Amino acid sequence: MFFLPVALVTAGASALLNFWLGLRVSRLRISEKILVGDGGNLRLVARMRAQLNFAEYAPIVLILISLIELARGTQTWLWGVAFVFIIGRVLHAFGMDGWRLGRMIGIAATMLVMLGLAAYAVFLGYTGLNPLR
């Protein structure tokens, strides 16, 4: 049996973050009385995009974290990478509400995490460096 604590905690945090993003959309829909679509409300469009943007990036990052943890075991640096990803996504959500710096930091953190994990995954797969074998 495999136990992947970094992947498990990151997936749980991602689910909570996705819930929060959805809640922000729902609350704005209720307050603006927009049940379907965006009603031309730019604030609602931004919140909807923040949630969808998260849904676009989170799966690949979670898959990469899981596979790297499976291949290399639980590593302290992987906890750090997961933390940076989650904090980056929170900053991005606030950035979509108008805090430009949060959006910039959030997307930069997401891209760097994704590219770093991708490069490491390719390296591990290509070289076959697996200390658990």
Q: DSSP states of 53-111 as a string?
A: HHHHHHHHHHHHHHHHHHHH---HHHHHHHHHHHHHHHHHHHHHTT-HHHHHHHHHHHH
Predicted local confidence at residue 133, as pLDDT: 53
User: Is residue 129, in this structure, part of any structural domain at all?
Assistant: no
In the chain, the number of structural domains is: 1
Percentage of residues in the chain having pLDDT higher than 70 = 95
Which range of residues forms the domain containing residue 71?
A: 5-124
Q: With cut-offs at 50, 70 and 90, classify the pLDDT of residue 129.
A: low
Query: At 53, which amino acid appears?
Result: N
**What is the Cα–Cα distance from 96 to 50, expressed in whole angstroms?**
6
User: Is residue 22, in this structure, part of any structural domain at all?
Assistant: yes
CATH of the domain at 73: 1.20.120.550
Percentage of residues in the chain having pLDDT higher than 90 = 80
